[in-house]
Amino acid sequence: MKISKIVLMVALTGFLAACSTTQKVDDKDVHATDGQRGSKNKTSYKFRWENPSDELYNRVVYFGFDKSDVSGEDKALLTKHATFLSANTSQKVRLEGHSDERGSREYNIGLGERRSQSVRRLMLFQGVADRQIEAVSYGEERPAVEGHDEDAWNKNRRVELVYIQ
């Protein structure tokens, strides 16, 4: 009887140990650079373009109605992205051309293509390798903003830079 109580106690202890939980370690805590555990206030970003305070965060170039030429302000933005890509030759980017809803589907696919190719040419001129850039067009098929007014149309005439992992 004494042996059965000991076996029961050992089994119960093993059962309780199996039911316990372990503390999960947050990735931010593991990668803290100051030797201390990361705080809840700090936000770490896996990629620069995910950080709202980084110059690569803005990844959208806007265009005028029926236009595919890049404005001066957007050229400065693309220069920052081109500099990053030139320094990081294994990184790739997809340039997604878009248009607003006005015009035929075929015309808008072509306009989105002209826009993405315009951005592509500018980035190639600034030293980005051709193999790093993919240019596509979605025309009016993927609007950033739903709506049938000038504000929505302005936001839908764009090229988005999508970094590919």
- Looking up residue 122, the CATH number of its domain turns out to be 3.30.1330.60
Q: Which of these ranges, 19-23, 43-47, 102-106, 111-115, has the smallest mean pLDDT?
A: 19-23
Q: Is residue 1 one of the residues assigned to a domain?
A: no
State what percent of residues in the chain have pLDDT above 90: 62
Q: How far, in Å, are 44, 73, 79 from residue 76 at the CA level? A: 26, 5, 5
Domain count, the chain: 1
Q: Is residue 24 one of the residues assigned to a domain?
A: no
Backbone angles phi, psi at 29, to 5 degrees: -70, -40
Domain that holds residue 150: 48-164
Of the candidates 129, 136, 123, 50, the residue with the CA atom closest to the CA atom of residue 94 = 136
Give 7 or 131, the one with higher predicted confidence: 131
